[in-house]
Structure 1
Amino acid sequence: MPDWRRATGRKLTAMRRVRSRRSGGRNDIDEAGASGTMALILIENFRAVFYTPFYAAFALNAYEAEGLEVQRVMGATAAETAQALRSGRGDVAWGGPIRLLLDNNQRADSDLVIFCEVVRRDPFFLVGREPRPAWQLEDLPHVRLATVNEVPTPWLCLQHDLRLAGLDPAQVRRIPDRSMPENLDALRAGDIDVMQAFQPFVERAVEEGVGHIWYAAASRGLTAYTSLYTTRQCIIRDPEGLLRLTRAMYRTQQWIATHSADELAACVASFFPDLPRPTLTAAIQRYMTLRLWNRTPMLRPEGLAWLDAACRSGGYTQQSVPYDRCVDMRFAAQVIRETPPTFGDDPGHATL
């Protein structure tokens, strides 16, 4: 379970330490370029290679460079994360926009809002036992497919791919109730023909010679996949903190765009202590080649619209959610206009 009490205590300590003095009726912390640390609690979704930019921001000391003390707390369910944000036990979370689409379908007064996009394409793959260089979606109903059971988004997106290709997802011989580690074992044993997975399971299958990439979902184009989100109350309460957070992520995105997979893997390796460096590097390289990560914090409407349509076609939501109802790009637009300086080539060391 998340250690909310410890994280909240640290935040309060930091806030007391840096509480600004009043000077002539003006709060020093609000001045442009003012020094002083601000504290935020950031709720992590789960540990995954496709979340690399989030870890890179810590490893590069991007938040410290912006005068932010960010406490990272591991979240649980999407509902519990939303409750933590609304209660003030957390300030910001990262996760899929699907969470906000569902929340808006369940609550007419949903106050969750995306303010910074990081993962702009689908990080999942279809990995088959046999090489199929000419494979097409039309071939999927003829094989045994093991899909992801950890989260709903991968199958919702894949079934929408099928519908757009004129196929019926119900015709797929799908095994939906096993985890990605279990599906990799099944692929090794020959119990399935193809598995749906993200990195590093894809790279492991390829390295072992038991798997061949049939389809990279990122190749379909923009699909809003992971963003930083908060509540509208937090935007009102702490706009300066969210602006600094967005700027830190933008500077991280720019660093990633100008560095190699080897350098990025070295930057975030401490977040994946059980993953061999060559595997991590290969996984990151594959994602970079697919242009998985956004180079700016700006979420484009067409990426969210595609995900919204997939959620509705898969029966996960019923009503379309307008872009402006769950997205506020004010901070993203501001930091892009500012063109902040990039980081040097001497990244800091993250504390796990």
Structure 2
Amino acid sequence: MRKSLILLTIFLIAFFSFAGCTQKEKLEKVRVGEVTHSLFYAPLYVAIGKGYFKEAGLDVDLQTTAGGDKTMTALLSNGIDIALVGSETTIYVHSQGAKDPVINFAQLTQTDGTFLVSRKKVDSFSWRDLEGTTFLGQRKGGMPQMAGEFVLKKHGIDPQKDLNLIQSIEFANIANAFASGTGDYVQLFEPTASIFEKEGKGHIVASFGAELGKVPYTTFMAKESFLKKDAKTAEAFTKAIYKAQQWVDTHSPAEIAKVTAPFFKDTPSDIMVKVIERYKNQNSYATNPILDEEEWNNLQSIMKEAGELPKQVPHAELVNTKIAEKAIGQ
């Protein structure tokens, strides 16, 4: 009897160990490159933290690729499978006659995610205060810079004539350059902007997102060949993102901060809550992954105003909404 019990125990341990290994092996690895690491992408971290990708059978390998050009290079060279970056990059690739175009298939953010940070504390800010100052801008041709210029022009400021505009600094080094004393104003993502404010390195005076309106600022994209070959993977990925978007939309900044905290270990919890609240209040987080035609046209208007639009591209040519529509059950 005792021998039988021992054999049964060994069998059960072996069975569940095998079952666990099998379950783990079933997860399909997907390499994702994010253009920067920011709470602006909270739904992505929620999808990982809440286990939504694993539920969908995916093992997401997330890496920060620091900058639109580097992110797109990683995607085109098969260093990553999916990129999270500004939709303008797909237009640039398309204009170069790519045989395997990059297609936007799931939108994550729907406003600009940057804030205007002043070195000095300003009691009553006016956009005209920027005239004659040194402005530390983003990379030329990138969405942050084009969005920033669009907002400045909206307030009657010519970035090339009315400012000392610096665009020569690498994306990943902009914050450090400002902290080291370069510029009177800088355009920064969160949580860096709020951390600088807390540390007395700068003061947030305005939001580019609140000024700009809705655009497909950051989307998940992949090469057309990947979306055809791995259609089920793209669908599973998008379903997980949609689930996370819905969770973020219906939960408080404090709850979201708790889930995303492991991804921002050096960021104080009070800063995280403040940042997420700021993004939620200006509707930066898309509540579903569909990139619609109106937003696509708004993007191209901004690019055209900045002199960076190679050629008008129809929505249907570089945007696949079928994956997102299927993900939300339309």
Tell me if TM exceeds 0.5.
yes
Instruction: Tell me, yes or no, if structure 1 residue 253 matches structure 2 residue 245.
Output: yes
Instruction: Tell me, yes or no, if structure 1 residue 222 matches structure 2 residue 214.
Output: yes
Instruction: Tell me, yes or no, if structure 1 residue 303 matches structure 2 residue 298.
Output: no
Aligned equivalents of 2:189 and 2:225: distance in 1? 34
Deviations 1:133-176 (A, max 9, x none): 3513x443243322235983222112122334454221222233
One-letter amino acid of the structure 1 residue matched with residue 166 of structure 2: I
- Given candidates 141, 164, 170, the residue that maps to 2:160 is 170
SS in 2 for 1:337: coil
Stretch deviating more after TM superposition (67-76 or 155-164): 67-76
Instruction: Tell me, yes or no, if structure 1 residue 71 matches structure 2 residue 66.
Output: no
SS in 1 for 2:124: coil
Aligned equivalents of 2:246 and 2:329: distance in 1? 14
Aligned equivalents of 1:210 and 1:84: distance in 2? 33
Q: How does 1:93-112 map to 2 (within 5 A)?
A: 93-107=83-97, 109-112=99-102
Aligned equivalents of 2:111 and 2:67: distance in 1? 22
One-letter amino acid of the structure 1 residue matched with residue 328 of structure 2: I
Distance 1:78 1:218, change over 3 A: closer
CA contact 2:178–2:186 (8 Å) conserved in 1: yes
Which protein is bigger by CA-based radius of gyration? 2
Aligned equivalents of 1:110 and 1:168: distance in 2? 37
Structure 1 gaps of 5+ residues are 1-16, 21-35, 339-352
TM-score by length of 1: 0.76
One-letter amino acid of the structure 1 residue matched with residue 41 of structure 2: Y
Alignment length, in residue pairs? 301
Aligned equivalents of 1:76 and 1:124: distance in 2? 15
Aligned residue number for residue 177 of structure 2: 182
Deviations 1:165-219 (A, max 9, x none): 4542212222334411221342xxxx64322111122212332455433320111
SS in 2 for 1:148: coil
- Given candidates 246, 252, 257, the residue that maps to 1:265 is 257
CA contact 1:114–1:228 (8 Å) conserved in 2: yes
SS in 1 for 2:130: helix
Aligned residue number for residue 326 of structure 2: 334
Deviations 1:29-62 (A, max 9, x none): xxxxxxx644433233332221222111110101
CA contact 2:106–2:219 (8 Å) conserved in 1: yes
Aligned equivalents of 2:124 and 2:130: distance in 1? 14
Aligned equivalents of 1:134 and 1:196: distance in 2? 15
SS in 1 for 2:167: strand
Aligned residue number for residue 33 of structure 1: none
- Given candidates 286, 289, 292, the residue that maps to 2:281 is 289
Instruction: Tell me, yes or no, if structure 1 residue 131 matches structure 2 residue 126.
Output: no
Residue identity over aligned pairs, in percent, reads 25
Aligned residue number for residue 243 of structure 1: 235
TM-score by length of 2: 0.81
Structure 2 gaps of 5+ residues are 1-21
Aligned equivalents of 1:233 and 1:325: distance in 2? 14
One-letter amino acid of the structure 2 residue matched with residue 111 of structure 1: P
Aligned residue number for residue 144 of structure 1: 134
CA contact 1:131–1:213 (8 Å) conserved in 2: no
Q: CA RMSD in A?
A: 2.7
Structure 1 residue 243: Cα displacement:
0.8
CA contact 2:179–2:201 (8 Å) conserved in 1: no
Aligned equivalents of 2:104 and 2:280: distance in 1? 23
Aligned equivalents of 1:76 and 1:194: distance in 2? 22
